[in-house]
Chain A
Amino acid sequence: AQKVTQAQTEISVVEKEDVTLDCVYETRDTTYYLFWYKQPPSGELVFLIRRNSFDEQNEISGRYSWNFQKSTSSFNFTITASQVVDSAVYFCALSGIQGAQKLVFGQGTRLTINP
């Protein structure tokens, strides 16, 4: 069975600090996708990134970066120089390759950035 664990339930930091959100996953599939979604107070989940299990290169997008390590089954997300607008619940998720398969989510990490 597939499982995603986000051990950090809540994180609170002061603006401009760097913060890393942890994600550990379990799957028996040899190929899979990993995702991060952001859920601001408005409620809708916003897609941030998708990573194919074949591609272990780290990715950077502005202040966001992702560290995928297959050896430890982890897909961590770092926000550099955090801003108040980054406050949200962040979800890590895992799915198979075929379309419309299940997307298994972690429990989410509530991130609060204080001014």
Chain B
Amino acid sequence: GAGVSQTPSNKVTEKGKYVELRCDPISGHTALYWYRQSLGQGPEFLIYFQGTGAADDSGLPNDRFFAVRPEGSVSTLKIQRTERGDSAVYLCASTKQVGEEAFFGQGTRLTVV
């Protein structure tokens, strides 16, 4: 596609529910990143993929968070048993090669009530 696409753009969920956030990277980009951005903060690294495998998942805050990229393109970030503290904007980015310029999507604003 022309750019990184994230869906939904907004998600409101109740505490304890399960959510999935989707990222469709730029076609041909091998590396895909997930970041979380809280109000007034910089993007906080969660996980990145090189191809289908998670090359670094050290930023995932706990085992309620999981991400997949089964075919090396679209990625899904999954959050189980959501908590109010999970409320943030979740950003996805892709690069042609790891370490090169990252192109960001518009983000998914997750609100846990």
Q: Do A and B bind each other?
A: no
